[in-house]
Structure formats: C-alpha cells, structure tokens
Amino acid sequence: MIRADQLSWSYGRSSVLRAVTLAAPHGRVLGLIGPNGSGKTTLLRLLYGALSSPTGSVTVDGDPLSSLAPQEAARRLAVVVQEAGGESSMTVAEVVLLGRGPHLSTFQRAGSDDHAIAARALERVGAAHLARRPFGGLSGGERQRVLIARALTQQSTHLLLDEPTNHLDIRFQHEVLGLVARLARDLDTTTVVVLHDLNLAARYCDDLVLLGAGGVAAAGSVDEVLRAEVLEPVYGIGIERIEAACRFHLLFHPFDPQDVTA
C-alpha cells in the first residue's frame, strides 16, 4: 500500500498541489484524474520519490519513502513513464533485463535467473515474440507493453504509470489498460495510473482521485467520483452519464452560455 499525507508542491510562486492525502491499497487500480495542469504527473512523481514534498509524507507498506535507499525503493516501486524510445538501439530483451538492476550489486552481471524472470515478464504481457526486435522500432502499443514488462522484471509490489495510453490508438489503449488491471488483480499489486480519458478510467480503475484547484476535489470509487455533479465544477463542461450493460459511459457537451450567465 502507498499512503500519502498532506503533500504539496509549487513551481516558483505557483502552487500546484496543497494538502493532498490519498491511499492506494494492494490489488486495486487507483486512477489520478483531473484537468490539464491539475498536478496529476506531479503527484505521481511525489509518490515514487522523483520529487520531495516540503510537507507531509509518503509511506510504502508503512515505511517512509524518504527512509528507503534508492535500490530498496526501486525494489518496491516500479515506474512506467512516458518515453519516446525511438532512438534506442537496444533489443527488447535488453530493455526488459534492465528491470533487474535493483536486484544486482555494482558490476554484477545478470545471470540465468535474471534472464528467466525477464523472459517470463515478456510472456506475461504478450510480447515474448518481440524479444529480438530493436526497441526503437516498435509501435507505441508494443513499447508500452515492453516498458510494463521491464517494470514487472523489477518484481516490485507497486506499479506507477504516467499516462500509459498517451498517443496510442483505441485498440492499444484498451489492451494496455486491460493488462494493467489484470496485473493488479493477479499479482496483488498496488497500482497508480495517471489518466486523461475519463471513460478509460471508468472501465479499468477501481478507485479515483480527482484533482482540481490545487487539491483533491473528490476521492472514492469510480461510481462515486464519475458523476456529473462532481466532475462538472472541476472540468467546466457539461457531463451526462449513460448506464448500459452494467457499465456507464460519459458524454460531454459545452455549457449553454445562457446557463453559465444565468
């Protein structure tokens, strides 16, 4: 479990996050949502220690993140950030094997067990057939699968992803997030993911934290957060929720100017 208590962050005089508190339990997918500039990626960076909040604290399974040595933090937290990857000359197998770094001492070479763990991770994400391919030549969806495989190779109990569906077509968006949701369930992994698309969040997340106006505008289950009365004040757009086949879908429409000025 990842817990954050009273986190804050500012860029110069501009406050982005204030007094943010959340909990991400094992075996569930927590989505961070909110408008552009609301601090989603900044919050994710605070959760895995790339940024250090001047207030509050982050704990990982009860241990302060600030007390963990970098190698120990990497054993517990696997991070998938947005990477172009187009210039890499490494093969897919080599990229995935990098995930074993936190488990190796300085100058220690990866052994047969490490290669086996990396191979199993590629199989789990359905990318074993890509092992010999150059990473830089992969499609966006293929790259995301490989980066998730690299994270799995770390054998961490917490997975954090920054907009894993960015620049992917509809099919790959669903494939990648479906994979993330299955991994959370099957491996009992704590999963935190930044998402822009609210309908993808509705389908693949268990819990949501909605950011707005520098803090947490709402938090709870998908059903509790993705409601028009919760979302409209934050996003500034009309929202209609359509229930269908035991799921729901959100439709968006600009507010009528007369309604805004009334």
Q: What is the mean pLDDT of residues 202-230?
A: 96
Confidence of residue 239 (pLDDT cuts 50, 70, 90): very high
| Backbone φ/ψ region at 23: left (φ over 0), alpha (ψ -120 to 50), beta | beta
**pLDDT given for residue 96 in this prediction:** 94
Contact criterion met (CB below 8 Å) for 155 and 72: no
Confidence of residue 255 (pLDDT cuts 50, 70, 90): confident
**pLDDT given for residue 13 in this prediction:** 85
Instruction: Burial-class residue 202 by CB neighbours within 10 Å (0-12, 13-18, 19+).
Output: buried
Percent of the chain with pLDDT over 70: 95
* CA 178/CA 194 separation, integer angstroms: 15
Mean pLDDT of the chain: 91
pLDDT at residue 109 greater than cutoff 90: no
The neighbouring-strand residues paired with 17 are 9
Which residues, other chains included, contact 16 with Cβ-Cβ below 8 Å and sequence gap of 6+?
A: 9, 10, 37, 39, 42, 214
How does pLDDT run across 39-52, given as a tens digit for each residue? 999 999 999 999 99
- In three-state secondary structure terms, 152 is helix
Percent of the chain with pLDDT over 90: 71
How does pLDDT run across 120-171, given as a tens digit for each residue? 999 988 899 999 999 988 888 888 889 999 999 998 899 999 999 887 889 8
Complete domains list, the chain, with CATH: 2-220 (3.40.50.300)
How does pLDDT run across 158-206, given as a tens digit for each residue? 999 999 988 788 988 998 899 899 989 998 999 999 999 999 999 999 9
User: Helices (DSSP H) in the chain: which residue ranges?
Assistant: 40-48, 70-76, 92-97, 112-124, 140-153, 170-187, 198-204, 222-225, 228-235, 257-261
